[in-house]
């Protein structure tokens, strides 16, 4: 996989360099609530600018239906990128149309443009190779070189991620190089004890990675909504909590395999429950209580790990040499149910081991709860991509960058 430094050494001055970034930032109206992904690609953009390239940045945002939708415009991200690099960033109001062609043609050496949301074109996400390829052909006309740096999208077989690199000389940006280097630390010659913390809402989202990690991890700690399927599998009442009954056979199999392999499987011992799901916008105080995980009252919803679980999980992470965390422990967006997630984040901060926050809601939680990002070994920009890599899957966007 060629690096961006090697590409620059070959000469990029005056050349149009297409940078496939991940600017899929959360928005409240037109206000960016977390600019982490824009800051993550900033070094690659600045490196190309300094080398005199004409930088064409492209990304997706959200899930529009293959047509323009103002709610998913990348205009706010383009403006924020300009603020971060301290320079004007031109913005094309389409992907491969008249505005894109004119905007790119108007770039001088060391200048930057951002194209409108790639998913406004149905060819970006099409499952039809010909339709996807046709869109990649149009994108290729806008550039001379390609740099892949959108790690959060490399698990997608999309036109700008998979097909476009085959049409242009290509290299991996600094972000992708960093992300892959970190993931190799989690899969090759891992320093032990190796602890994994998995949360989030659905067991089904994590089955593949649990299956893979049972062969590699020393401890697996489970929290979030997915924990209630595990508790139900053990025969406990889970009230009205999130539950995937169809996954109980798989969960039982994993618990048995963990026991057979000597992998420590850690589940909540107490949980915070309420009769209703909280209003995440109002964030008003709610009626809630802490109960043992094996004595949840019927009709109540489990919304966070309890204090004894928080102490238990901190103790299980304290001596870990390597920790991977993906998924919050509760409804961290509400202050009444953020302590479980906060406790895991604090345990990683306190640990002397190498800690990786696996993107997605985990990364958002770290920022929302006010932690210093530099206190962690690495905060990934791609939750789904990280999980699929740890499952041992081939990621289309990484395969496309291999020479």
Q: Which residues are catalytic?
A: 37, 202, 360, 384
| Per-residue H/E/C for the chain | CCEHHHHHHCCCCCCEEEEECCCCCCEECCEECCCHHHHHHHHHHHHHHHCCCEEEEECCCCCCCCCCCHHHCCHHHHHHHHHHHCCCEEECCCCCCHHHHHHHHCCCCCCEEECCCHHHCCCCCCCCHHHHHHHHHHHHCCCCEEEECCHHHCCCCCHHHHHHHHHCCEEECHHHHHHHHHHHHCCCCCCCCEEEEECCCCHHHCHHHHHHHCCCCCEEEECCCCHHHHHHHCCCCCCCCCCCHHHHHHHHHHHHHHHHHCCEEECCCEEEEECCCCCCCCCCCCCCEEEECCCCCCCCEEEEECHHHHHHHHHHHHCCCEEEEECCCCCCCCHHHCHHHHHHHHHHHHCCCEEEECCHHHHHHHHHCCCCHHHCCEECCCHHHHHHHHCCCCCHHHHCCCC
308: Cβ contacts below 8 Å, ≥ 6 apart: 269, 270
Give the whole-angstrom CA distance, residue 181 versus residue 186.
9
């Amino acid at each position: 996989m060629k690096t961006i430094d090697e590409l620059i050494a070959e000469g990029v001055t005056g050349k149009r360099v297409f940078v496939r970034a991940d600017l899929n930032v959360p928005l409240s109206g037109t206000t960016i609530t977390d600019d982490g992904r824009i800051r993550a690609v900033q070094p690659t953009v600045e490196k190309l600018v300094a080398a005199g390239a004409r930088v064409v940045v492209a990304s997706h945002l959200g899930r529009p239906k293959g047509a323009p939708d103002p709610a998913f415009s990348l205009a706010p991200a383009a403006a924020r990128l300009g603020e971060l690099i301290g320079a004007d960033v031109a913005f094309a109001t389409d992907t491969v149309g008249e505005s894109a062609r004119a905007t790119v043609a108007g770039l001088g050496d060391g200048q930057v443009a951002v194209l409108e949301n790639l998913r406004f074109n149905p060819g970006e996400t099409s499952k039809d190779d010909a339709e996807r390829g046709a869109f990649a052909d149009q994108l290729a006309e806008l550039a001379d070189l390609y740099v892949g740096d959108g790690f959060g999208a490399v698990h997608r077989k999309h036109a700008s991620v998979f097909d476009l690199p085959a049409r242009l000389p290509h290299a991996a940006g600094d972000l992708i190089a960093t992300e892959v280097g970190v993931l190799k630390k989690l899969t090759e010659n891992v320093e032990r004890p190796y602890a994994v913390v998995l949360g989030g809402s659905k067991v089904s989202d994590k089955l593949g990675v649990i299956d893979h990690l049972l062969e590699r991890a020393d401890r697996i700690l489970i929290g979030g909504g997915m924990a209630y399927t595990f508790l139900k599998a053990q025969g406990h009442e889970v009230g009205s909590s999130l539950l995937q009954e169809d996954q109980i056979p798989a969960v039982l199999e994993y618990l048995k395999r963990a026991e057979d392999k000597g992998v420590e499987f850690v589940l909540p011992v107490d949980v915070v429950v309420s009769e209703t799901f909280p209003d995440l916008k109002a964030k008003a105080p709610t009626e809630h209580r802490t109960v043992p995980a094996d004595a949840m009252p019927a009709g109540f919803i489990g919304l966070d790990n309890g204090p004894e679980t928080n102490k238990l999980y901190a103790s299980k992470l304290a001596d870990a040499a390597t920790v991977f965390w993906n998924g919050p422990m509760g409804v961290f967006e509400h202050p009444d149910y953020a302590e479980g997630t906060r406790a895991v984040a604090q345990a990683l901060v306190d640990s002397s081991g190498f800690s990786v926050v696996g993107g997605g809601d985990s990364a958002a939680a770290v920022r929302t709860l006010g932690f210093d990002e530099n206190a962690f070994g690495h905060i990934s920009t791609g939750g789904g991509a990280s999980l699929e890599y740890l499952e041992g899957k081939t990621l289309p966007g990484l395969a496309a960058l291999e020479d």
